[in-house]
Structure formats: C-alpha cells, structure tokens
Amino acid sequence: MPAQDTFFTDLPAVEAFSDTLQLHHYQELPDDWWVVVTDLEGSTQAIEAGRYRDVNALGGCTVAAVLNATQPLQLPYVFGGDGATFCIPPSKVQAVRNALLGCMELARDAFQLSLRCSLMPYARIRSQAPVLVARYRHSANLQQAFFTGGGLQVADRLTKASKDFHLLPEQGQPEADFSGFECRWKRINSPREVTVSLLVQASGSVDQQLQCYEGVIQTMQQLLGNEAQLQPLTAERLQLAFDADKLSAEASVRNFKERRSQWLQLLKLRCINLLGLLLMKFDIRLGKAHWGRYRSDAVASSDYRKLDDTLRMVFAADRNDLDAFNQWLDQQQQQGQLIYGQHISDAAQLTCLVSQTGVEHIHFVDGCDGGYALAARSMKQKR
C-alpha cells in the first residue's frame, strides 16, 4: 500500500471532542488526493412524500460501497443524511468510480431516485480553499474524520453548480458491494421532549469559525444540558423493527443483488432480527461479539455530532430550553457570526454499518421525518 494512502490513519488521534475544535489538530489533505461528493437529487421531495428512511438508506449505501471498494484502507469521510463526502487517494479512484456507479444503479432501479456523484481532484478545490482533516476517536468502534478549512464547501458548490465533475456511466463498470449496510431499528423516541437536527456554518477565518463552534457547544451545554443529556439515543430505546415499512429499505438493497422477492427478503430480515433479539436478551457471546451490550455499544458508536465545514449535531432537548438556545443562535446570526438551520422531530433514526462478525459497527444518526436534509433547506432559505 502506498505510504500516501495511509494519510488518515497516520494522523494522531484526538480523543476529546473539545480538541476537534483546535486548529493544530488538523492536517491538510495530500495534494494528489481526490474529493468525492454524493447527494440524492430531489431528497426534499422524497422526504415530504414520507420516504426519509429511503433517503438515509441510500446515503448509507454510498458509504458501505465506497468503504468496501477501498478495503482495508481507512478513509476520511462524513455522512450527511442524503449523501456523503469522501477523501480518497489516487490509487482508489477507479474502484470508487465503479462502486458509485453501482450506487447510482441502486438508487434508480430499486428506489426510483437519482443519486448524483462527483469526483474532483483536490488540486481543483485547493485553489479556492484547503481541506483540513482531524481524526477523532470517540470509542473503540467509532473513528470519525472532522473537516475544516472550507474545501468541502467548495466541493459541494462545484457539484451543484456544474456537471464538469459528475460521474458518467461510461467512466467505469457498476460494481458495488453493500455488505455491512443495515437499517433495522425502529424510530428512537427522544429521551427528552424533542430530537433536533442542527446545522451551523460560522463566518470568518478558520480559527474564528472553530472558536464560534466552540461557543455553540458551550452555550448548548449551559442551556440544554451536559453531553449525556444531549445524547439523542439511549440503549433502552433502541428496539429492533419487524414492520415492513421499517425494513423495506434494507430489503430493497438486498433484493437489488440477490433478485429475490421483497416478501422473502422481509421474512429473512425478521428472522435475523428475532435471532438478534434473543442474543441480546440472554446476553450471549459469539466469538468476539458480546450481544448483551450491543445496544449500549451502538449508542457509543453513534456519530450524532460531526464537522465538515458545517457543525452537524442531532441532540435531545426540552422545548423551553431549546427556545432559549434558539434565541441565542438568532442573536449570533443577526450579528453575522453564523447561519444555522434546524429540524425538530420526536425521534431519531439509525443507518448502520456492521462488520460480518458483529464486533465493529458504526451508526449514523439523523432526525426522523427529514433531519439534516430539511435543516439544510432551512439554512439555504435563510441564506
């Protein structure tokens, strides 16, 4: 493996969330790397039609496909709800193209939706803004890339403003492996009154932006509660789903490759969930997997807060406290310090990536009924 391919794993790990807001923990992406952006076109309309689970599922599938195509390499990436952003070395560009073409087929043929994918050389982005990366290790299973510098915002603008970097069918062969993708949990009701999906973009220099985000976190903790109180998930509220509408997204993904009937896929998933329920209930160990603590491990491995030139958080709150926090955000917005978007629900949802052994797992958190996608629309309207 070329030495440059291990850029992300060579970064010193940051283990305190507060340290992710310190610029000296970030390093610039190598000059010859590429930036990949995926997003679902028409995601807002799909969400308004009640298909928010499908939207999140397709976003999660792009992560599964890209990570499977680049194994055993660990890549810096971030899940954004209706898509994801990745940084990849030049040695993996063609493999990622093929994987994303498979994702585009999946979106079109299994979900009747359109997935837009862009691949662009970092050198094209760097002329406008850098991509700076930090490696945050929150738990044994959860290792996240945090981004600042403005480069990912440039990549997003280029994706939406021009087709120059859009992936085209003739650029490869569709070849996607969605192994590890799972979407089997019920809606996770808020442990408080509401579950909030929040996006914040700060203004000013990179240092000023990080200081602004630090102020946002401090104010949240003062007005809304400590880190444990803000966590939108609890192990007790994680319940496996058996209803067809909750399992249909994963069944459609599995059926896309296996070509079985949707009914058989749903039956298979219900059997898997029943087995999982028994393993967790009776605290059974299989190999390295300790099923009795799977729910608590899932909470610890959830990405409910992240940074990709935008501070993204899903958190629990009480309405009165949230009103006070929003008043503070409004003041900061009026002063030109930041712009924010928000979506309020009564529950969160999980989209998961799980290893074949069940030991390693990461759980992408979004708010139900729209989450990050509708928060982004709110922020766009303000802008």
Q: pLDDT by residue (tens digit) across 260-294?
A: 788 899 999 999 999 999 999 988 888 777 888 99
Cβ proximity of 99 and 175 under 8 Å: yes
Cβ proximity of 57 and 366 under 8 Å: no
Q: For residue 269, how many C-alpha atoms fall within 13 Å in the half-sphere facing its CB?
A: 28
Q: Is the dihedral of CA 326, 328, 333, 334 positive or negative?
A: positive
Q: What amino acid occupies position 206? A: V
Closest CA to 180 of 367, 368, 317, 357: 357
Q: How far is it, in rounded angstroms, from Cα 93 to Cα 120?
A: 10
pLDDT tens by residue, 81-110: 889 999 999 999 999 999 999 999 999 999
Q: How far is it, in rounded angstroms, from Cα 291 to Cα 235?
A: 13
pLDDT tens by residue, 134-143: 999 987 778 8
- Tell me the whole-structure pTM to 2 decimals: 0.93
Phi, psi of 121 (to 5 degrees): -65, 140
Helix, strand, or coil (residue 190):
coil
Q: Which domains are seen in the chain, by residue range?
A: 3-175 (3.30.70)
Helix, strand, or coil (residue 128):
coil
Closest CA to 347 of 216, 195, 214, 215: 195
Q: For a pLDDT cut of 70, what percent of the chain falls above it?
A: 98
DSSP string of 16-69? SGGGGG-GGG-EEPPTT-EEEEEEEETHHHHHHTT-HHHHHHHHHHHHHHHHHH
Cβ proximity of 104 and 39 under 8 Å: no
Mean pLDDT of 14-41: 96
Q: How far is it, in rounded angstroms, from Cα 162 to Cα 116?
A: 12
Q: What is the model's pLDDT at position 52? A: 92
Length reported for the chain: 383
Beta strands 361-367 and 83-88 are: unpaired
pLDDT tens by residue, 330-380: 999 999 999 999 999 999 999 988 765 454 688 999 999 999 999 999 999
Q: Please give the sequence-ordered ranges of beta strands (E in DSSP) within the chain, or none if there are none.
A: 13-14, 27-28, 34-41, 77-79, 83-88, 114-121, 132-137, 143-148, 181-182, 188-189, 194-202, 285-286, 289-290, 305-307, 311-317, 338-345, 347-354, 361-367
Helix, strand, coil percent content, the chain, rounded in steps of 5: 50, 25, 25
- pLDDT of 1 over the 70 cut: no
Cβ proximity of 350 and 189 under 8 Å: no
